[in-house]
Amino acid sequence: MSRTDTSRLRSAEAIAAARSEGRAALVGYLPVGYPDLAGSIDAAHTLIDRGADMIELGLPYSDPVMDGPVIQRAAGAALARGNRTRHVFEAVEALSGRGTAILVMSYWNPILAYGPDAFARDLAGAGGAGVITPDLIPDEGADWIAASETHGVDRIFLAAPSSPPDRLAHVVSHTRGFVYAASTMGVTGTRASVSAATEGLVARTRAAGAENVCVGLGVSTGDQAAEVGSYADGVIVGSAFVRTLLEDEDDRPAALASLAAVADDLRAGVERARR
């Protein structure tokens, strides 16, 4: 990758910018390569245009243990169409430099296969801010921690509702950018409500030393975004966006229009959360 990091917006900077406007950051997840590489980049551009502060690009993987059926279906189609790690870097490079932090969500095996140092180097070179590693814990992440430090890449670990204080402190001390607070112990997917325990998890993670805590898993509507955005630093949305692409799979303009409408509702939610 030839790009320098001068155009890279880090995740903490994106959160700080949203905070200066009196709101939580809106983080949108999309799998790279669905419906195809160009289509996934177009979808991410749509989210950026509708006010997403961060984009989380999913690296398609054959064993997505944390993904629900909606994201699994889209990521499986992306894999079947030949999308691989290098395509994620192409998407990052196409999206960076527009005032939005670009993150990658990847399970550990693809990073390990690529080489942790090379992955961090190429992500930074493409303009990426950092990586969310849902199946990697700090205790087993020495190689990734070293690589991310070397190349200035945010490393985002997860905090679970069941995490005790000492575990939260351990996660916080090894995280850079923000802590990803999982609102449930389950997989991704839209839900009728966000767990009542989530606000407590955010408070406990802050008490453990976290400056920024973003909540994911289950947020799908503007009202839910307003609820979570009233206490979290960022609201992460995935399945609600991906579902719109799946529902209009054969009509790309309609899919992007639906995606924009969902993004508008969610952005309005985070804006009214703290009024």
* Tokens 């679970």 found at: 160
DSSP track, 137-172: -GGG-HHHHHHHHHHT-EEE-EE-TT--HHHHHHHH
Q: Is 140 a catalytic residue?
A: no
Give the Cβ contact number of residue 159 at 10 Å.
23
Give CA torsion, residues 244, 246, 220, 186, to 10 deg: -170
> Distance between CA atoms of 214 and 202, rounded to whole angstroms?
8
Q: Which amino acid is at 260?
A: A
Continuous segment of H or E residues that includes residue 131: strand 130-132
Query: What is residue 112's three-state secondary structure?
Result: helix
Q: Is 5 a catalytic residue?
A: no
Closest CA to 190 of 159, 222, 162: 222
List 36, 53, 56, 143, catalytic entry? 56
Give the Cβ contact number of residue 261 at 10 Å.
12
List 13, 42, 49, 67, catalytic entry? 67
Residues labelled as active-site residues: 56, 67
